[in-house]
Amino acid sequence: MKLDRKRKHVFTSGNSVPKKSLSADKKVIYAVLGTMILPVLVMMVFTGCLADLPIKLNDKSEESQVETSEAETTQDTGTESASDTETAKDSGTTETEKAYANDFTLLDLEGKEVSLHDFEGKIVVLNFWATWCPPCRAEIPDFVETYNEYKDKGVQFLGVSDDDVKSLNDFIKEYEINYPTLLDGSKDTIMGKWGITAIPTTFVLNGSGEVFFNQVGMMSKDMLVKAIDAALQEESGY
């Protein structure tokens, strides 16, 4: 009799929940959490909370890389260097003029040709970006502010984008961008040639067009200023 009472107590005491009911409750909880977390993540991306992450360009070839080494630059400019040598000999000079490295020509938003060598002798900040890219949008105000501070110190900013002209004009007006924005795919398509697989990507070039610094992902103003100052210091020889 005692054993029977004990067994009865085991089956009747407590308010245990059947396993099936517990599993169903978990599923409901997970579903609710999922619907709450997903919108938060989307909002974080588009409000700039994740703005320091570069946006991958999957359709760009990873095989194309910016030619920054001395050997590659020599290969690309070999014909020009030979031509410069002949010109120097004809003019009686003894030194060969060095060709401007990494040169290209694109159209600006007004349809005018702009070449990289137009800014020979200046430090060039070359920024690849797009209007739809959150980290690009986040860094643009610092770029505009920094350009205003350095434009009279031998520094030129250039933006390169493959957006449509209307989107770019609207964005430039909104953010008050006062340096040239060039259209990739106008006279040439250079993103692949520069090895751009994610944006924003920024290069700082010396006065000869050679890459001094590059950054994949958003740049803070402090990072940008340090890179420009270092390039200016090297260019001056101090």
On the question of a cis peptide bond just before residue 18, with omega within 30 degrees of 0, the verdict is no
Q: Which residue has the tokens 């070839």?
A: 61
Residue 136 annotated among the catalytic residues of the structure: yes
For 149-203, give the DSSP string.
HHTTTTEEEEEEE-S-HHHHHHHHHHHT--S-EEETTSS---TTTTT--EESEEE
d(CA 190, CA 101): 14
- Rounded alpha-carbon distances, angstroms, from residue 31 to 18, 20, 45, 110, 179: 20, 17, 22, 52, 49
Of 124, 126, 133, 136, which is the active-site residue?
136
Whether the CB-CB separation of 125 and 145 falls below 8 Å is answered with: no
Q: Answer yes or no: are the C-beta atoms of 104 and 116 closer than 8 Å.
A: yes
Angstrom distances, CA of residue 84 to CA of 77, 94, 98, 218, 224: 10, 11, 8, 39, 35
Cβ contact 124:209 at 8 Å: yes
C-alpha radius of gyration, the chain, whole number: 29
Q: Which of the residues are catalytic?
A: 136
